[in-house]
Structure formats: C-alpha cells, structure tokens
Amino acid sequence: MLDVLRNRTYRHLFGAQVIALIGTGLATVALGLLAYDLAGANAGSVLGTALAIKMVAYVGIAPVVGAFANRLPRRAFLVAMDLVRALVAISLPFVTQIWQIYILIFLLQSASAAFTPTFQATIPDVLPEEKAYTNALSLSRLAYDMESLVSPMLAAALLSVIGFHWLFGGTVVGFLVSAAFVVSVRLPQSKAIARKESLYAKTFRGMSIYLRTHRLRGLLALNLAAAAASSMVIVNTVVYVQSKLQRPASDVPFALAAFGCGSMLVALLLPRLLANRPDRPAMLGGAILMSASLAFGVALTGFGQVIEWPMLLLTWFATGIGYSMTLTPSGRLLKRSAASADRPAVFAAQFSLSHACWLIAYPLAGQVGARYGMRAAFVVLACVSVVGFLAAWRVWPAANHEDTVPVR
C-alpha cells in the first residue's frame, strides 16, 4: 500500500493532508476549551451551535465551489484556502465574544468546504491507475483515523506546558505547512468543458450527475447508514461510559480508540480485498455490520457493568470495521462516475450530501440519547442504518457496479 508514496506529487499531497488534519485536531481541542472559557457550563451549547454552523457551511458552500473549481488553477486555489484557514485560526485566540466564534467557524469551515472536495478530486488525476488510487483512499482513511488518536494525545502533551490558546498556533502552522507541500508540486488541471449554463445549472451540475447515477444514489444511502453509526459513537460514547457505566473520563478515549482501530484495520486490508472484487458487496457488507452492531447495542444496555464495558469496546470495534468498509471505497465510485472535468463538482456533491446526512444524524443521536436513554438511541439509529442499507441495496443494482457514466 505504501508503494503509492513513491509518486512525489501524491507524497506531498498526502503530507499536506496529514499535517492539516493534525492542525485541525488541535483546533478542535482548543475550541472546546475556548468555549468553556467564554461560556462556562453553557460550553456544550456553544459547541453544538458551532458544529451545526460547520455542517451548514459544508452543505451550502461545497456545491457552489464545485461548480467553478475545474476552471481555477488547482494549486493556487488549494494554497489560497489553506492561507484563509490559517488567518482564521490565528484570529481565534483573540476572541472575546461567543458570536465571534460563530463567524470565524463559518469562515474556517467554508474554506474547508472549498478545499477538501477540490483536493479529493485532484487525487484521481495524480493517480489514474485503479490500484494506486485504491491504495491512496486507504491511506487517506488511515490518516483520518490516526488523527483522531494522535491529535488528542498531542494536545494533552502540549497543554502540560502551554496554555490552550497556543494550540491555535499549532493549527496555523499545520495549514501553512500544508500550503507549502501543495505549492511544492505541479498539479494536473482538469480539462474544463465550455458550456453555456446558468449559475444555477453550474452550481447543481454535480448534484444532478450524482443523483442520476445509480451507484451514487446507493452511496448517498450508505452515507446515511454510516452517519447513523458514527454519530452514535461520536455523540454518545462519553455519556455511555461516564453516566451509564460510571467509568472515569480517562476511559472515554479507549472506547473511541476501539472504533478507530476497527476502521484502521479495514483501511490496511481493503486494497488487497478490492484488488479483483467489485465495491458494492464490501460497501453493503459494511452497512450490514454497522446495523448489526447498533442492533446488538440494544441488548448491550441490559448487560451488567462488568460485561458491558468490554462488550462496548467490541461493539465499537465492529462498528469501525463496518464504517471503513462502507466509506473507504467511495472515492472509486466517484472517480468512475464522472469525467475529469466534472469530478470537482461530483466530489463537491458527495461532500455536501454526506454532511447533510451527518446534519441529520448528529442531533438525532444527541436528542434521543438525552431524552430517552441509550437503548432508545441504539434502536433509532439502528433503524436509520437499516433504512440506509435497504435503500442502497434497492437503488444500486448489482449489475450496475462497473458501468461508467458518460460526460453530460
């Protein structure tokens, strides 16, 4: 899998991704501490609003940028977005009012909504060969999983010697180094096709291609299943571990790490598994595993605390396996479903629509868990995951898994 790093352009882009992810992870920790510093006991409400603003930016900004990204110089555009994110991050330590957090978070996430789909759409042009691109997708999945483990530990180590405001400095450095990696290579530019289209048509072109393609409609349904499963883990782990199991806060990272370890295991194995196999069975199998894990969670809540803790770790591990099986191959589907000129718009549509699923799942997981308990949360999110699986199985026929959508 690491052979793909011999490609200098991809190696630098992967370095940019890893460094930027670590910087973002430090900002996440620092933002939580900043919210508590300004709002005290109401910090949760501030963070919840900030998360909602993030999702709104992702859903609303990505399609607009995707409509024009193929007409802009990729390298200059990606570097500009990194610099915008660095400028926002360097402003956060000077915030004194909660409303200022909201404005800066919207600017930061809008830049991310512009950067990420364009970055993702560049990789297939850098690595046109299917095996190399599959390896790149697995490395990307590993990078996300490692960030979720490394960033909190790095933040904890830094906070032992510096104040939390300085963590934003690490974020700034991360974005600047990311920009330096991008500017150090030449990126292939997608071949824009001249079309006489209205602004509306350009903005929703990616959405149109996406929603008219069988496999991508299936991917959207699988995004919903994945959002349901991961939201249960992300939103309710701390409540489950500390409130229901009465375990110390130091055990929360272990539960989250179980999910990450399952995801990383699949990311390591998936290139070999998909070498001569279609994506559909693996992705649907991942959705089945996530649904089964959430369904098992319903029974898990009735176990005694001695058994419940190790079984929760096993449940989260299985959920992580299913999550990675479902989402890691998604880039291959997007690559096959659009010509090079349309890829930025299609990747932007995936970015926007997938985050719309999280915008539904995050508050659902939190509200049901808070009002009706963990068992009810497992039931509701398991049902959502099953609906996602059934919809994907229905709208993405098995005979359709290898066709390629023509340029439109």
Angstrom CA distances, 119 to 122, 179, 348, stand at 5, 12, 10
Residues in the chain: 408
Regarding the domain delimited by 200-395, which CATH topology (the fold level of the hierarchy) does it fall under?
Answer: Growth Hormone; Chain: A; (1.20.1250)
Q: Helices 252-273 and 214-239: crossing angle, nearest 10°? A: 160
Check: CB of residue 70 under 8 Å from CB of residue 205. no
How far apart (Å, rounded) are the C-alpha atoms in residues 157 and 265? 26
pLDDT at 406 > cutoff 50:
no
Taking the CB of residue 141, how many other CB atoms lie within 10 A of it? 22
Q: Which numeric CATH code is attached to 1-183?
A: 1.20.1250.20
Residue-wise pLDDT tens digits, 369-393: 888 888 999 999 999 999 999 999 9
Torsion angle in degrees (nearest 10) through CA of 326, 329, 333, 339: 150
3-state secondary structure of 222: helix
Question: What residue spans in the chain does CATH classification 1.20.1250.20 cover?
Answer: 1-183, 200-395
Distance CA 137, CA 118 (A): 15
Compute the distance between CA of residue 302 and CA of residue 82 in angstroms, rounded to an integer: 48
Single-letter amino acid code for the residue at 361: A
Whole-number pLDDT of residue 202? 58
Instruction: Number of helices (H) and strands (E) in the chain: give both, helices first.
Output: 15, 0
Does 403 have pLDDT greater than 70?
Answer: no
pLDDT at 408 over 50: no
d(CA 350, CA 342): 13
167-196 pLDDT per residue, tens: 889 889 999 999 999 999 988 766 555 455
Q: How far apart are CA 218 and CA 274, in angstroms?
A: 18
Task: Work out the number of other CB atoms within 10 angstroms of the CB of residue 152.
Answer: 18
- For 233-258, write each residue's pLDDT tens digit: 887 887 888 788 888 866 877 888 88
Distance, CA of 216 to CA of 408 (rounded, Å): 15
